[in-house]
Amino acid sequence: QVQLVQSGAEVKKPGASVKVSCKASGYTFTDYYMHWVRQAPGQGLEWMGWINPNTGVTIYAQKFQGRVTMTRDTSITTAYMELNSLKSDDTAVYYCARDSTNWQLRHWGYWGQGTLVTVSS
Amino acid sequence: DIVMTQSPDSLAVSLGERATISCKSSQSVLYNSNNENYLAWYQQKPGQPPKLLIYWASTRESGVPERFNGSGSGTTFTLTISSLQAEDVAVYYCQQYYSTPVTFGGGTKVEIK
């Protein structure tokens, strides 16, 4: 069965960086886009970007351009999201979510369990 | 960017009654080449990731109960829960995947009256 297992909770100081991992299993990793979404406490869902695990091509939301990097390691079927220059309002649960294709945006049937990132001095 | 607007923000419905959630997009999410609406609905319960309920505006994901129905086209969409059950208490989000950036509605919290 398809599983996306994310790394554990992080506590970071303002200005630091965080790197969240998303280990995929149960399917061919390179066949589906991987998205990253975040959810601040009590708030809605905010799309950050996606990576094509097959090619490594990324598309980022303009809000995060220059501050986010999405990568993948196909040998261990893991996607990563690194966010730099953290601020307090980056405190959120970060999710990876698998698309239904790797050639066009589609719906997302599988999600990781979420990783809480807390930014606090 | 396509702005997704959901209404209401919250609603309380009696068990067994119908719940209706509206979602409007600032531009059409109907893709003419395949006549599909690039619109999905997700359910999120506290402490859990969102769960896909409906895609292509009206296609129920495998395993989703038949009481969940999606309808609409173009810019106006509706999620209907035909007979609310206790386990349906959650926040519901619409999402457009027609274009980047992918955007979500603000969410509708469904509670039991």
pLDDT band at A27 (very low <50, low <70, confident <90, very high): very high
**Residue A107: which of B55, B101, B104 has the nearest Cβ?**
B55
Task: Read off φ and ψ for residue A74, nearest 5 degrees.
Answer: -70, -25
- A102/B50 Cα distance (integer angstroms): 21
Give kind and range of the element (H or E) at residue B91: strand B90-96
pLDDT in tens, B65-83: 999 999 999 999 999 999 9
Kindly identify which residue of chain B lies nearest to residue A35, measuring between CA atoms: B102
Q: What is the mean pLDDT of residues B24-44?
A: 97
- A65/A94 Cα distance (integer angstroms): 17
DSSP string, B48-73: S--EEEEETTTEEPTT--TTEEEEEE
**What local confidence, expressed as pLDDT, does residue A86 receive?**
98
pLDDT band at B39 (very low <50, low <70, confident <90, very high): very high
A107–chain B Cβ distance below 8 A for any pair: yes
The answer on pLDDT for A103 being more than 90 is no
Burial class from Cβ neighbours inside 10 Å (0-12, 13-18, 19+) for residue B97 reads buried
The answer on pLDDT for A23 being more than 90 is yes
| Total number of residues shown for chain A | 121
- B49/B28 Cα distance (integer angstroms): 27
Summary mean pLDDT of chain A: 97
If one counts every other C-beta atom within 10 angstroms of the C-beta of residue B39, the result is 28
Q: State whether B56 and A59 contact (CB < 8 Å).
A: no
Supply the DSSP symbol for A16: -
pLDDT band at A104 (very low <50, low <70, confident <90, very high): confident
